[in-house]
Amino acid sequence: MKRKNVKKLLLNCITLIVFFSFLYSVPVNAIDYKKEAEARKSMEIESNSYHNWPLGPAIGAEAAILMDANTGAILYEKNIHAKLYPASITKLLSTYIAVQECELDEMVTFSEEAVQSIHWWEDANMGVYAGSKLTVEEVLYGILVGSANEAAYAIAEHISGNLEDFSVLMNKTAKELGCNNSNFITPNGIHDDNHYTTAYDMALIAKAFFSNETLTKMSATTRFDVPVTEDQPREGIILTAKSQLHPGKTYAYSSLIGTKTGYTDQSRQTLVSCAEKNGLKLICVILKEEMPAQYTDTIELFDYGFDNFEAVYLNEVDNQYSIDNHFFTTELDLLGSSKTILTLNPNDYIVLPHTLTVENLTSGVSYDDKNETSVATINYYYQKHLLGKINVELATNEQVIFDFGNQNNNLVNIVKKDSGNTIFINVIHLLISFILIVVFFTIIFSIQSLARNRTMSKRRKNKLRKHIMNGNHWDIHKY
């Protein structure tokens, strides 16, 4: 009987302990994140205010952007310049820096500081021992597939020696990519109040990231087995991607070419993804969303972009292209049959919604983004929003062959390339025009000289007449 009472007492004590543990584990003023996300659907979507622009979806993310990866055109924008916490999508910048600074076969040593820099039960990690050595390539797979925080720490030490100097390099690189509202402190995105970015800045970073084939391939990888070597003795390290957009996952997106997830209590769910379809390569950034809406938001935005926009190559649709200041005109032979010296890059395009045509756009010439072959850039805008850039380039791949013995040779024998819009100059006609101009001004000068001589002759006659009338003696040789 006494034994039963003891058991009953122990059971009651355990029940009370569990009850009070649960009671004190729940904050009195717990935040309803789902409710907050639902309320954010009523926030302004700036791109929906563009006249005659396709209406984008209302989503629960605090900030979101859909950008064309090749042109930088913004198709959808919601609160894109708000400063928010990025969490692990920070690793896109860290790995981008790594491929700029390192060879893939370089060896990276995991220091004690790197291995002990994380909470092993809370933070994503590779699980390698201090002193282990992996190639840069293996470390990058660890960061992009397994989101390994100590691996990001190790690559930062490998490149800059310490986190502080790597932070300086991160911010310098971000600035070079056009980011003006970001500040990066950690290489892995572990929370720091002073570590923040914007949806727009992350899209610019992603634009650079997804322009690299190696990084794109890594971000599309769903599993990576860390090899066992003399420098990395631990067995069975298998890394798997967390994103549910990958093939075979719950929210698999068939056109996906890469993705990176992020989460901290402060940042909530963050996600950067890239997809390619119908000639468009789109980047989607989601900041501060709740599971699993970061995936559904991304799918909605990708579908919105691919369904409502298209890549337009001007040499196919704008046969009479002319710049506003009439600097040059499509297929206009300035002085007759001639040699092509400038051409619009046939691979450049603008992104156009189905609701607009090229005639709805304005354009301007810029000389700021010149390279070895480009002499200028034509920027296309809709209501001051950039939709794409077309490079004006030197047509250096055509040879000029002039046969002076060929009387029928107007200028040159060339093989014309199908390069779209071009600018022509005919050297022979140019010289003829120059000669005609010289002759014209010579005739004008001669006429003026004759008129001047005639006037002086009249003056002499008048002067002579006055002398005769006044009865003055005169010397005929003076006149």
| Predicted confidence (pLDDT) per residue in 99-108, tens digit | 999 999 999 9
Supply 58's token pair: 């209302």
* Residue 388 and residue 318 in contact, taking contact as beta carbons nearer than 8 Å: no
| Predicted confidence (pLDDT) per residue in 394-427, tens digit | 766 544 333 434 434 333 333 333 444 444 445 4
Distance CA 200, CA 293 (A): 20
Partner residues linked to 238 by β-bridges: 225
What ranges in 145-287 are assigned the alpha helix state H? Answer: 149-160, 163-176, 199-209, 213-219
Residue with tokens 């055509």: 398
| HSE-up (13 A, CA, CB side) for residue 365 | 16
Q: What is the pLDDT of residue 462?
A: 63
Supply 134's token pair: 């992996």
| Predicted confidence (pLDDT) per residue in 109-160, tens digit | 999 999 999 887 788 999 899 999 999 999 999 999 999 999 999 999 999 9
Closest-CA residue to 62 (of 246, 266, 210, 281): 266
Q: What is the pLDDT of residue 371?
A: 64
Cα angle: 452, vertex 457, 458; to 5 degrees: 100
Q: Which residues of 216-237 are buried (b: 16+ CB within 10 A; e: fewer)?
A: bebbbeeebebeeeeebeeeeb
The predicted model scores a pTM of 0.76
| Predicted confidence (pLDDT) per residue in 179-198, tens digit | 999 999 999 999 999 999 99
Q: What is the pLDDT of residue 407?
A: 39
Low-confidence ranges of the chain (pLDDT < 70): 1-29, 315-341, 369-373, 395-431, 433, 451, 453-479
Task: Kindly report the average pLDDT of the chain as a whole number.
Answer: 83
Q: What is the pLDDT of residue 370?
A: 59
| Predicted confidence (pLDDT) per residue in 347-364, tens digit | 899 999 999 999 999 988
Q: Which residues of 398-410 are buried (b: 16+ CB within 10 A; e: fewer)?
A: beeeeeeeeeeee
